Amino acid sequence: MYQNLIVTGGCGFIGTNFIRYVLEETDFSGRIINVDILTYAGNPLSLADIADKYGDRYVFVKADICDYKEMLSVVEQYDVDSICHFAAESHVDRSILHPDDFINTNIIGTYNLLKVAYEKIETIKRFHHVSTDEVFGSLGAEGLFREDTPYAPNSPYSASKASSDHLVRAYCETFGVPVTMSNCSNNYGPYQFPEKLVPLMILNALEGKALPVYGDGQNVRDWLFVKDHCIAIWEIMFSGVVGETYNVGGRNEMKNLDVVKVICNLVDEVAEPLASGESRESLISFVKDRLGHDRRYAIDCNKIDAELGWTPSESFETGIRKTVKWYLSNMDWSESVRTGEYQNWIKENYL
Ligand code: NAD
Ligand code: TYD
């Protein structure tokens, strides 16, 4: 069992859910050190109750993973024996607008952490790297991404994640750093910053705003409920084989337009009707397509199922119901993370 686990990017969407899951629902008895620089996507308020409840077992360090000396000193100060690496710039649209941050954090930041792990190889028992299915590129109508599918990233975001995956693999092969990796599909659930499709549509539908669907809305993604993802990562950190990579998917392939329609119908069910009396589907607005928009992602997650006994427990129908309910009950949280600058950019570009 790990005693001192660094979680990078713990104030972001998946990191927050992961820290909550590990502290509240597993038999982990050690300490989590959450290392996060708090970009626009990092919100320490998401874990305020955890900080109160777990005392010394939860430590927050505001630091940049690109800073080698600082990362080394955190590892030394807290006797770190394991790292679960989430910190990244994660939004494709932003990577099209400002690729620099993606190169720095996703590539240089990961490289720094790997150097630290190698420097401390006597004590680091596991370095888990969280990556994306987007590294595999875009699929046609048929087929699934497997762990051995060749990499073909198309956006600055996916190219930066692909680079980090290669570095992680290389540090294991060359220097023996005990890594595992996971490549997962699109996550959704509580605490997701409302720039991504699901929370943006939920909040806009609640507020009666336009629902911007890129292109023809026929792009396909696989949807993974965030808690299922956290369970998979924890399983890999303990039972995954060093040097191996695992695909994690929700077995929920859907077209974007269908995702938006499901959200509209759910919001119609739980919220006040629109003043017009129409369904929220009337808010759907087709806008210009994303540059280089990948057509279809779909993931074969049979390896983690067969080898580690993990399978997703939520269908999109059950997971999205929980998610809509969460956003409805946590409007304050959404308000606190929405900033003017990015909303203006969305308006200028897409609405
Ligand atoms: P997010 O954008 O919500 O959170 C990222 C977190 O990293 C934020 O708290 C941010 O402050 C922090 N961070 C950014 N740069 C940092 C730096 N230089 N130093 C320290 N902290 C920094 O992202 P997320 O959706 O939670 O994604 C987490 C990981 O999962 C990422 O590596 C992402 O590529 C991967 N992933 C996400 C999805 C998804 O659907 N969200 C799917 C596949 C893979
Ligand atoms: P997103 O949530 O940004 O995740 P990713 O790009 O990592 O898959 O987008 C999911 C899909 O939804 C993607 O095909 C782009 C599309 N999309 C829209 O149609 N409208 C939107 O406002 C957003 C944010 C995304």
Q: Is the CB of 34 under 6 A from ligand 2?
A: no
Q: What is the DSSP letter of 104?
A: I
Q: Is the CB of 197 under 6 A from ligand 2?
A: yes
pLDDT of residue 347 exceeding 90, the answer is no
Identify the pLDDT of residue 348: 56
Residue 306 in domain:
yes
Residue 87 in domain:
yes
Residue 257 in domain:
no
Q: How many domains does the chain have?
A: 1
Which residues form the catalytic set?
Answer: 133-134, 157
Which residues line ligand 1 at a C-beta cut-off of 6 Å? 8-9, 11-15, 36-39, 41-42, 64-66, 86-90, 105, 109, 130, 132, 161, 184, 186-187, 193
Residue 155 in domain:
yes
Band the pLDDT of 342: cuts 50, 70, 90: very low
- Residue of 324, 134, 159, 91 lying closest to 221 (CA atoms): 134
Identify the pLDDT of residue 178: 98
Sign of the CA dihedral with 255 first, then 261, 263, and 266 last: negative
Q: Is the CB of 88 under 6 A from ligand 2?
A: no
- Percent share of the chain, pLDDT over 90: 92
Residue 116 in domain:
yes
- Percent share of the chain, pLDDT over 70: 96
Is the model's pTM score more than 0.85?
yes
Residue 211 in domain:
no
Q: What is the rounded (10 degree) CA torsion for 105, 108, 111, 116? A: -80
Q: Mean pLDDT over residues 232-253, rounded? A: 98
Closest protein CA for atom 12 of ligand 2: 197
- Domain span holding position 141: 4-187+226-250+295-314
What is the overall mean pLDDT for the chain? 95
Residue 261 in domain:
no
Residue 69 in domain:
yes
* Nearby residues of 297 by Cβ (< 8 Å), 6 or more positions away: 133, 134, 136, 138, 139, 145, 185, 186, 220, 221, 222
CATH number for the domain harbouring residue 72:
3.40.50.720
pLDDT in tens, 103-131: 999 999 999 999 999 999 999 999 999 99
